Amino acid sequence: MTGSNATAAEMEEALRADGVRITRQRAALLKVLAEADDHPDANELHRRAREIEETVSLATVYRTLSALESQGVVHRLAFEGAPARFETTDAPHHDHIIDVETGAVIEFRSEKIEALQALIAEELGYEVVRHRLELYCRKRK
């Protein structure tokens, strides 16, 4: 979103540290992820990765994204009635505004909302493991 994405090298390191091999296909996907400043879905990532390395299959894209996700390098975003979209987890936690007309995604962060969530959960005897906050919005005129 902001150009402050994790670099491909950083993600590579995270993968290697976990004993995961860096193949041509994965290198291509990491590059695509590092350069993405939108929130592409698997298909779009596949399309972009193919421009770098044509022997990338969609299955590999999904498998690699799962690996990256389980190592906390990538987040899977599941918006309403749409295929999952992905983002690197370079930036601190944030939530999303989805433009209902264009599908554009804007990131935001509110400490106040975070604090309120924790408070509400606590009052009900829970602690928040993770949360999801999505604002489906329209541009004001």
Partner DNA sequence: TTCAATGCAAACCCTTTGCACGGTA
Partner DNA sequence: TACCGTGCAAAGGGTTTGCATTGAA
Binding mask 75-114 vs a second copy (x if CB under 8 A, - otherwise)? ---x-xx---------------x-xx-----x-x-x-xx-
Reading the block at residue 41, the tokens are: 């879905």
**How far apart are the C-alpha atoms of 50 and 44, rounded to whole Å?**
10
Least distance in Å: CB of 103 to a second copy? 13
42: contact with DNA by CB under 7 A: yes
Contact 96, 105 (CB under 8 A): yes
Q: Phi/psi at 101 (nearest 5 deg)? A: -90, -40
Choose the one of DNA, a second copy, none that binds residue 58, judging by a C-beta under 5 to 8 angstroms depending on kind.
DNA
> Would you say 10 or 41 has its CB closer to DNA?
41
Q: CB under 8 Å to 53, separation ≥6 — which residues?
A: 24, 25, 27, 28
CB of residue 1 to DNA, shortest distance in Å: 20
